[in-house]
Amino acid sequence: MSSGRTLLDSYRQDRYALFSHIVTYDDTWISYATSETKQQSMQWFHSPSQKPKKFKEFIYSSQKMMATIFRDEKGILLVDFTKCVATVTADIYRET
């Protein structure tokens, strides 16, 4: 309660100075795809036959990471990426 009152008093004194001291954050899970490697795309074929046409393929992985974005009134301060874990705990947030 006292921190809320202090914030409100600061706002009454100088609105614009207060906003320059506030930092907010948001986090989101990002799933990503990895393209197949040259080794993965190799195929055996007989020398007289034609090579098959190659198309760019993506192997969609089940991997994901959490992006946490911190910002203030002027813009983004930090973007932190955390590997996927089963449970996000307070310890993981503290490490950031």
Give per-residue pLDDT as tens, 26-72. Answer: 999 888 766 666 665 666 666 666 666 665 555 555 678 889 999 99
Alpha-carbon gap, residue 60 to 94, rounded angstroms: 31
Alpha-carbon gap, residue 66 to 28, rounded angstroms: 6
What mean pLDDT do residues 19-28 have? 86
Determine which helix (DSSP H) or strand (DSSP E) holds 26, and give its type and residue range.
strand 24-35
This prediction's pTM:
0.49
Alpha-carbon gap, residue 77 to 65, rounded angstroms: 19
Sign of the C-alpha dihedral computed for residues 69, 71, 75 and 78 taken in this order? negative
